[in-house]
Chain A
Amino acid sequence: MYYKLRGVLVKEIRRLWYNFGLMYCQRLTLKDFRNYRRLDLSLSPGLTIFQGENASGKTTLLEALYLLATTKSPRAGSDQELVSFEAEAEFGAPAFARLAGTVERQDGEIEAEILVLRDQTGPEVGQAGTARKRIKVNGTPRRSIDLIGKINVVLFSPEDLDLIIGSPSLRRRYLDSTLSQVDHRYLRHWQDYAKVVAQRNGFLRNVRERQGRGRVTGRDEMSIWNVELVKNGAYLIKRRQEALQNLNNLAASLHGQLTGLVSALIPEPNTGFELVYQPSFDLQGATDETEIAARFEARLNEVRSQELQRGVSLAGPHRDDFAFMVEDANISTYGSRGQQRTAVLALKLAEVGWMHAQTGDRPILLLDDILSELDAHRRQYVLDTVQARAEQVLITTTDLAFFGDQATLRELATLYEVEFGTVKRV
């Protein structure tokens, strides 16, 4: 009885404490992950800085945490590259990389583990091979969908600029992975939607090929794929629109502050910054799921013959995009590099607040060498903002000079030196 009561009390006290939205990674262990043979790193809340030369393995640390949160690497390339070249197959088991993280959260501590196994019968060295991932949550084997969303991170990296200047598929991927972190239904619908698009394209191609042989398939068979496409797609569009609207509301004022900083440290009240969702067909202002579905269905009827002719699905969230606008001009074409950087930074900072609002947890922030691209004022603004909004901020840099006065820095932050796959506290 006593122990039971004490257990409840302890739990209650912990819950109160966690209600502050505390989320941080306590411990990160790596084995044969990229250039790390072995690493066991204890981390604390607050600001942690990893300093080191290029290609020393700083980014890899942030990548590991991102991977544990999303089960995907932010870097392009095959999963096989995640396994160290030096990792060897032992006792008949394939060479593998292991990454594990212990993370404190509002809902209690979680231990996430990912094994990346390099396939034994893979192709020759130098060729892109295959790899499999095994996921464990608190020691029990789980599917990736069970891990995604348990740990929330926001990664800031120099490649974020591609969100503005890159292809629409990058912007879609950004929305998809960001939403999947906070909404499991989104992830499910997204996975199903991708399958439906592939099947529907297969259907359209088959119809084209079989028509020549006198085997025409009926309208019914097309409409079953339309039903699945609309059902999953309408939810994706609705959530993307909502998320972008929320991000836009947060980003607009952040953009004003970032823009005003250059000269006067006084925020520019209205910079005309706007994130605009660009659907592949006219939604006519629909925001409700049923309305979107109705518009989507109508559009599918309009493009039917065109789709049959071309053999691909022409309408839907897999063709949508969004744009960064300043004063009604799309800055991917009209903005300077500096403007583009400010815009993407505003979006990423907005993402931090958005994720907190969606999950109740303040996400872990990973800043990969982004300070070197900013001037002193903006650098300070970013550092202040991220520290105010997260329990734990991990930053990589080549030069500690970006952080101003060294003596105060040592008081504020935990410093590590990274060199050839080893991490030393300094």
Chain B
Amino acid sequence: MKVTAEPVSRLIDELNKLPTIGPKTASRLAFYILRGSKDNAEALAQAIIDVKEKIVYCSECFNLTEQDPCPVCASRDRDRTLLCVVEEPLDVVALEKTHEFNGLYHVLHGHIDPINGIMADDLRIRELVDRVKLNDINEVILAMNPNVEGRATANYINRLLVPLGATISTLATGLPVGGDLEYADEVTLSNALKGRRLI
């Protein structure tokens, strides 16, 4: 005998496919939706359909956008000779919040990660090389995460861009703002020391 009605168990199965959602959380969410109003359920369903139907990749920077090209690439106020390469669309959001960067972006959609089957070819690296080749770009900032895979990705891109003659830089690594020198680990501290600058 089946205890849960088929539509409910189907919803649970679908939710269960999402990352970090286990079977227990999935059933909790399903019953929450079931108990809630029909409006809320429809709003959720519509929002999910909208992101799939309305969101496209920007043909220049490959960020997610509603219109192509994206607002950043279409803007006349941005510095078109400066390019910042990031791993994920969320990194663009983080960098935009700083209001410090006024150039254009290039979103790779991941890092080189062979364990999970992601090779350089699977990222938007070829598009990046073309972009640097075809446009008048002075500097490329490689803003990868400071871990093994991020370093490898930056290193790979660097090798491809050096022959094109653009200046290539990476973000500084070191002490967090508001952090305590005393509690920084040796590696972070020695990075900070190497990356010191004149004031």
Contacts and interface: CB of A to CB of B under 8 A. Distances in A.
B185 A195 contact: no
Residue from A184, A201, A206, A210 with most neighbouring chain B CB atoms (10 Å) = A206
Contacts of B159: 220, 223-224
Given A205-B114, A224-B112, A225-B152, A217 B24 contact: no
A327 to B, nearest CB: 41
A310 interface: no
A124 interface: no
Interface string B57-92: 000000000000000000000000000000000000
B117 to A, nearest CB: 6
Contact of B156 (A192, A195, A206, A221): A221
A217 B114 CA distance: 12
Contacts of B121: 215, 217
A184 B186 contact: yes
A217 B120 CA distance: 8
A268 interface: no
Contacts of B115: 198-199, 201-202
B148 A196 contact: yes
B153 to A, nearest CB: 8
A87 interface: no
A199 B185 contact: no
A195 B120 CA distance: 17
A303 to B, nearest CB: 18
Nearest to A223: B159
A221 B155 CA distance: 9
A220 B185 contact: no
A425 B112 CA distance: 58
Contact of A146 (B112, B120, B185): B185
A203 B24 contact: no
Nearest to A205: B114
A266 interface: no
A198 B149 CA distance: 11
Contacts of A223: 159
A198 B147 CA distance: 14
B187 interface: yes
A227 interface: yes
Interface in B131-172: 147-149, 151-152, 155-156, 159-160
B119 interface: yes
A377 B115 CA distance: 54
A220 B114 CA distance: 14
A267 B167 CA distance: 66
A206 B112 contact: no
A417 interface: no
B24 A121 contact: yes
A122 to B, nearest CB: 11
Contacts of A203: 114, 119
Interface string A188-224: 1000100110111111011000100001010011011
B113 interface: yes
A195 B112 CA distance: 13
Contact of B148 (A195, A205, A206): A195
Contact of B149 (A146, A184, A199, A217): A199
Given A184-B186, A185-B186, A199 B148 contact: yes
A41 interface: no
A85 B50 CA distance: 49
Interface string A126-170: 000000000000000000011000000000000000000000000
Interface in B35-51: none
A220 B156 contact: yes
Nearest to B152: A224
Contacts of A198: 115
Residue from A188, A200, A202 with most neighbouring chain B CB atoms (10 Å) = A202
A216 to B, nearest CB: 10
B113 to A, nearest CB: 7
A199 B156 contact: no
A228 interface: yes
Contacts of A202: 113-117
Contact of B117 (A184, A206, A220, A221): A206
Nearest to B187: A188
Interface in B104-131: 112-117, 119-121
A179 B121 CA distance: 38
A200 B114 contact: yes
Given A145-B185, A202-B114, A221 B24 contact: no
A205 B113 CA distance: 12
A199 B113 contact: yes
Contacts of A195: 147-149
Contacts of B24: 121
Given A121-B22, A199-B115, 4 more contacts: A121-B23, A146-B185, A195-B149, A228-B151
25 contacts: A121-B22, A121-B23, A121-B24, A146-B183, A184-B185, A184-B186, A185-B186, A185-B187, A188-B187, A195-B147, A195-B148, A200-B114, A202-B116, A203-B119, A205-B114, A206-B119, A220-B159, A221-B119, A223-B159, A224-B112, A224-B152, A224-B155, A227-B152, A227-B155, A228-B152
Nearest 6 Cβ contacts at the A-B interface: A202-B114, A203-B114, A202-B115, A195-B148, A224-B155, A224-B156
Interface of A: 121, 145-146, 184-185, 188, 192, 195-196, 198-203, 205-206, 210, 215, 217, 220-221, 223-225, 227-228
